[in-house]
Structure 1
Amino acid sequence: MATRLTLICHARTVAQKLGRFAQDEPIEMDWQSSAGSLSGHFKLSAQLLSAPETRAQQTGLLFASELDIVPALRDCDFGRWQGQRIDDLQAQEPEALNAWLTDSMSAPHGGESIADVCARVSAWLDTLRTPGHIIAITHPFIIRAAIVHALQCPMTAFNAIDIEPLSMTELRYNGRWRLRMERAANTKPL
């Protein structure tokens, strides 16, 4: 039996809506009235993990009332850019922003580089060798890093991957990681 890892991106935040680097902000939706609303989406035997940030934990509570917090699933440390608008940085620090977007080793904001995030996520994925289903509520950067690792892509592919709020990405491990795309619900194979 393979390890099945479903990565779920947290629900949308105001920072995402405004084009800002993330902070530890809540999700935009009324998660308290929606708590448990997605609980029937997965079998009860799945292990539910969450990044430590508020937005990931609130999203996780849409699926279950109990979450295991995993520090390796935390978002990228954006250093002094945390909470800053990307458009403002483009105007104020265009060279630094461009370096960060084009060089995976660059961290002009004083936080983590893309290479750092990819190494952290790769190390975490290497610990997941137990058969069963794991659901992890996390962030776009972490999901992108997991895809790059699974597909053994160069880190230059990192910025070519878009992850939407509440999207699901499935990886399977059976000797090596594979990206698994599922057909839409309620459709028959062609």
Structure 2
Amino acid sequence: MQATRLTLICHARTVAQKLARFPVDEPLELDWQAQALSRAAEIGPGTRVLCGPELRTRQSAALFSADCVVEQALRDCACGAWQGLSIDEVQAQQPEALQAWLADPQWAPPGGESVAQLCQRTAHWLEDMAQRPGRWLAVTHPLVLRAVLLTVLQAPLCSFNLIDVEPLSRLDLSHAGRWRLRLDRRS
């Protein structure tokens, strides 16, 4: 059985992240290139590159390969009516709804996707990736990385908000019968 090696990288920083806003399809911040280019050197030849459909993931993935394949399963968690609003605005306008979303993985923002739905979507994607041996790089979003990590570790959904994912964070996984988290030493 040939192994699947999967590296997930969070897209580079956006203005929405900096302002603690629920994202829209915004471009990357202007100072993102130097950080992202330094990460590009860590990806080996022959690695196939996937990304979410949003502009920020496509821009980040383009630093690794001109032949990025967009995967809908890597899209950001849909935030529905909260798209473009800051956390403070949602707290001021809908405090109970925000608390419900933070406390209950089954609860979704109006017109959006719940954490449970996001985790289910990413679990299905991981099942598919397990059948695709070789080296893969997937550029996606902080919430998708959280969902993947919960799935691989078989952690409860209530752990979702205990994970912080910074821009350009990297998660290495391997699959040869089951998904395993790969920790390595960088010099």
TM category (shorter chain) comes to over 0.9
Aligned mate of 1:180, from 172, 179, 182: 182
Q: 2:8, 2:172 within 8 Å by CA — same for their partners in 1? A: yes
- The correspondence of residues 108-119 of structure 1 with structure 2, limited to 5 A, is 108-119=109-120
Distance 1:106 1:171, change over 3 A: same
How far the C-alpha of 1:40 sits from its partner, in A, is: 3.5
Instruction: Find the aligned partners of 1:71 and 1:182 in 2 and give their Cα distance.
Output: 29
Distance 1:108 1:89, change over 3 A: same
Q: 1:4, 1:172 within 8 Å by CA — same for their partners in 2? A: yes
Partner of 1:142: 144
Moved more, 9-18 or 164-173: 164-173
Q: 2:105, 2:157 within 8 Å by CA — same for their partners in 1? A: yes
Partner of 2:163: 161
1:60 aligns with 2:61: yes
Instruction: Find the aligned partners of 2:93 and 2:106 in 1 and give their Cα distance.
Output: 21
Q: 2:28, 2:59 within 8 Å by CA — same for their partners in 1? A: yes
* Identical-residue share of aligned pairs (%): 51
How far the C-alpha of 1:178 sits from its partner, in A, is: 1.3
Offset from partner CA, 1:122-157 (integer Å, 9 cap, x none): 000000123211100000011100000000011011
| Gapped regions of structure 1 (runs ≥ 5) | none
TM-score (norm 2): 0.92
TM-score (norm 1): 0.91
RMSD (Å), alpha carbons = 1.8
Distance 1:132 1:21, change over 3 A: same
Instruction: Find the aligned partners of 2:154 and 2:39 in 1 and give their Cα distance.
Output: 32
Amino acid aligned to 2:180? R
Instruction: Find the aligned partners of 2:105 and 2:35 in 1 and give their Cα distance.
Output: 38
How far the C-alpha of 1:89 sits from its partner, in A, is: 1.0
Distance 1:95 1:34, change over 3 A: closer
Aligned pairs, number: 185
Instruction: Find the aligned partners of 2:4 and 2:12 in 1 and give their Cα distance.
Output: 25
| Gapped regions of structure 2 (runs ≥ 5) | none
